[in-house]
Amino acid sequence: MQILDDISTRGFVDLGIYEPEKCISKIALQLGRYLGVRLHANFEQLTTNSTTAKPQNTYAGNYGFSELPLHTDLAHWYVPPRYILLRCVVGDPEVSTLLLHHREVVAQFSEAIVRRALFRPRRRLEGKLFLMRLRDNGIFRWDQLFLTPDNHEARQVRNLMISPHSSFKIMEEVTLAEPGRTILIDNWNTLHGRSLVKTIPSQRRIQRIYFHEEGYDD
């Protein structure tokens, strides 16, 4: 029950070094059953490389070793994944995962701005282009790379989010330093990012798996 409490109040759960003898797939199956969500494909292995090593349509290809700005994973999808599970394989004690509950963002704007802000994906998805609200149907989405503001309200949101002076009261930080250290993020309510990577080349390896809400197509 603690997991459900944390996920609804903080928007993520730090599971600590969680059942280190098990693989991420087994843990994801257990958690998925517990949360009533289904797994999206297999896990991916995240490494940190220079921007030239990864495609331009990925975060890694754009930011490399630099700080990854706060974002929703797959924010340009009609329905982004519900939860993200991140698990450390090889840690770097100098690199933190940053987490910001969307209530901190919403608090900076009037209700009207939050309701009206419209974005469009940078590219068409399956040939279709549809507008997306900042917050709609229980999903809060933000991504400065893949979403483009479509109206004045959305530009106001972007200006705040890309400003280095943005001051959010509660920015949480988790360091995935030890093998097995695991966090579960509510991707519909909480933005995440990563501090810059100072040790290059980086040995850091993190596994990631997505969960989808039942009843939604991926």
Binding site for Fe ion (CB under 5 A): 73
Nearer Cβ to Fe ion (22/208): 208
d(CA 194, CA 96): 6
- The angle subtended at Cα 185 by Cα 181 and Cα 191, nearest 5°, is 120
Smallest CA-to-CA distance from 202 within 105, 127, 94, 118 is with 94
* Beta-carbon count within 10 A of 110 CB: 11
CB of 59 to Fe ion, least distance (A): 6
* Beta-carbon count within 10 A of 131 CB: 11
46: which 2 tokens?
């995240």
17: which 2 tokens?
């070094």
CB of 47 to Fe ion, least distance (A): 14
CB of 116 to Fe ion, least distance (A): 26
CB of 192 to Fe ion, least distance (A): 6
Nearer Cβ to Fe ion (114/185): 185
CB of 111 to Fe ion, least distance (A): 28
DSSP 149-189: E-SHHHHHHHHHHH-TT---S--EEE---STTEEEEEETTT
Nearer Cβ to Fe ion (132/191): 191
Residue 89 belongs to what H/E stretch? strand 83-90
Task: Pinpoint the alpha helices (H) of the chain.
Answer: 2-9, 24-35, 59-63, 102-106, 111-116, 152-162
Nearer Cβ to Fe ion (73/213): 73
Nearer Cβ to Fe ion (73/186): 73
CB of 200 to Fe ion, least distance (A): 20
d(CA 150, CA 144): 13
Nearer Cβ to Fe ion (153/197): 197
In the complex, residue closest to Fe ion by CB: 73
